[in-house]
Amino acid sequence: MRQELTTDGIDRYIEATPEALYAIVSDVTRTPEMSPEVVKCTWIKPATGPAVGARFKAINNVGHGPSWPNKPVVVTADPGREFAFARTELGAGTVEWRYRFVAEGTGTRVYESYLVTKQLKLLGWFIIDTLYRLKDRQTDLRRGMTQTLERLAQLAENVPQTHNA
């Protein structure tokens, strides 16, 4: 079955500064603390942190079926404002994931979204549908974004914030 996947996004208010939230999200080694599908992330040398063009290796798992690696590239690294990366997989097209941070009141409105910039091939949908049994990938991704921002809020709001006087 070929599913339709184009773009989606959610937002959440978090009681933390844009800079603090950016620091957590852009440290991709912390992604497994937030994402329900990412089990490991490491920077690929020579990258050691977020910068446009930096690559990292991510290992994903949806709870059934085998884990799979991918190697996203950072496409936006604007501290305190925006962090984005593009992930291309064989037969699975290209998906760009984006986090925007907008100061609001005493905290930040965080926007997480994805945009499919290269559609998945039929083989990719076959694998998603049969091997991973993901019958509604759009709903799965929306649920994952909600969980990611919930976990980001827990991480950020439990960390003491320092303020310069």
Pairing mode, if any, of strands 56-60 and 68-70?
Answer: antiparallel
60: phi then psi, degrees, rounded to nearest 5? -110, 150
129: phi then psi, degrees, rounded to nearest 5? -75, -40
* pLDDT tens sequence for the chain (165 residues): 555 767 889 999 999 999 999 999 999 999 999 999 899 999 999 999 999 999 999 998 777 777 778 899 999 999 999 999 999 876 677 889 999 999 999 999 999 999 988 776 655 555 555 555 555 667 888 899 999 999 999 999 985 555 544
Question: pTM for the whole thing?
Answer: 0.86
Asked if 51 contacts 65 with a C-beta cutoff of 8 angstroms, the reply is no
For the chain, what's the residue count? 165
Q: What's the rounded Cα separation, in Å, for the pair 151 and 53? A: 27
